């Protein structure tokens, strides 16, 4: 039997990158997957992903939904519960970065990053715990970042949002552990995706690689493997934790 046979999983921001790898990984292990994308330009990619997941023999559906919007998240989760029957796993993956030194960081840039990265986790978690409480089980996985643990120059808004996710994750683990709902965070290091493509070139890349004991950037699939572990019963006694998938990076 597959690790997630018959389970229903939500993944936010899954049209590309880490979210896409997670949606595919959970489906490969038997989960039915509902996932979101946010912009019209991602609709084609989302459709392709839906087809790829369906080809694995499970149910899949792409929803256009902005995770930073409370009402949209409420409608999305309600639609998924109706369409899929229940929600066992929620992966809050959607995220953005708008890096700037604090001297130049505008209030709009700050708000955008906090709303998409942190408020989205509140928006989604608040909705998915209802069906999970009813089912007396659930696993919520929030995508933090090594930057949320260590901080980084030029990334104060991103670091604040990702550190906020860790505090939120630990609090929800306390609140809902008695209901058999687990809540954990993953802190990826530098993973090769569109978000980090600018790091791959030239001297910057070399400097980053020197700080990574494993000597390479990570792959989206490696974060997906960590997500699979936290989504499945292999981690049934793990809650309120942050697992770093970072190649040992210490900045
Ligand atoms: P990406 O930029 O390739 O993908 C992010 C996805 O989120 C995109 O599909 C985007 O459309 C979606 N998204 C953005 N705003 C959204 C919204 N309001 N509602 C719904 N979806 C939205 O980035 P990547 O690298 O795949 O990152 C995924 C997550 O992992 C993010 O939370 C990111 O902060 C986190 N992360 C990534 C690292 C990396 O090195 N790539 C390192 C640490 C954390």
Closest atom of ligand 1 to CA, residue 158? 34
Ligand 1 atom 31 nearest Cα = 95
pLDDT category of residue 203 using cuts at 50, 70 and 90: confident
Name the strand (E) or helix (H) holding 99.
none
pLDDT category of residue 205 using cuts at 50, 70 and 90: confident
Domain boundaries along the sequence of the chain: 8-245
The Cα 183–Cα 48 span in angstroms is: 30
Active site residue 158: yes
Q: Are 60 and 88 in contact (CB under 8 A)?
A: no
Looking at residue 229, the DSSP 8-state letter turns out to be H
**Cα of 116 from ligand 1 centre, angstroms:** 9
Strands 138-143 and 89-92: parallel
pLDDT category of residue 199 using cuts at 50, 70 and 90: confident
Alpha helices (H) in the chain, listed in sequence order: 17-28, 43-54, 70-84, 107-114, 120-135, 146-150, 156-176, 202-210, 220-231
Name the strand (E) or helix (H) holding 104.
none
Ligand 1 atom 16 nearest Cα = 94
| Ligand 1 neighbourhood includes 193 CB (under 6 angstroms) | yes
Give tens-digit pLDDT for 68-85: 999 999 999 999 999 999
Query: Which of 17-26, 29-38, 48-57, 194-203 is predicted with the least confidence, judged by mean pLDDT?
Result: 194-203
If you average pLDDT over every residue of the chain, what do you get? 96
Ligand 1 atom 2 nearest Cα = 195
pLDDT reported for residue 89 = 99
The domain made up of 8-245 has a fold known as Rossmann fold (3.40.50)
Give tens-digit pLDDT for 133-152: 999 999 999 999 999 999 99
| Ligand 1 neighbourhood includes 58 CB (under 6 angstroms) | no
pLDDT reported for residue 208 = 82
| Ligand 1 neighbourhood includes 17 CB (under 6 angstroms) | yes
pLDDT reported for residue 251 = 59
């Amino acid at each position: 039997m597959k690790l997630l046979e018959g389970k229903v999983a939500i993944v936010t921001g899954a049209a590309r990158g880490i979210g896409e790898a997670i949606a595919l990984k959970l489906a490969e292990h038997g989960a039915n997957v509902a996932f979101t994308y946010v912009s019209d330009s991602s609709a084609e990619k989302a459709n392709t992903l839906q087809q790829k997941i369906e080809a694995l023999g499970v149910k899949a559906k792409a929803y256009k939904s902005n995770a930073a919007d409370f009402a949209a998240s409420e409608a999305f989760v309600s639609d998924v519960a109706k369409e899929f029957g229940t929600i066992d796993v929620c992966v809050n993956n959607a995220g953005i970065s708008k890096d700037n030194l604090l001297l130049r960081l505008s209030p709009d840039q700050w708000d955008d990053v906090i709303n998409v990265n942190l408020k989205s986790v509140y928006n989604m978690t608040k909705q998915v715990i209802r069906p999970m409480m009813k089912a007396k089980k659930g696993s919520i996985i929030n995508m933090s970042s090594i930057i949320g643990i260590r901080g980084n120059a030029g990334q104060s808004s991103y670091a604040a949002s990702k550190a906020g996710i860790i505090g939120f994750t630990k609090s929800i683990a306390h609140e809902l552990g008695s209901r058999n709902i687990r809540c954990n965070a993953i802190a990826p290091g530098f993973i090769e995706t569109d978000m980090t493509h600018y790091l791959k070139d030239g001297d910057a890349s070399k400097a980053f690689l020197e700080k990574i004991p494993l000597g390479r950037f990570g792959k989206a699939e490696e974060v997906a493997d960590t997500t699979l572990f936290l989504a499945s019963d292999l981690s049934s006694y793990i809650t309120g934790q942050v697992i770093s998938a970072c190649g040992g990076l210490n900045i």
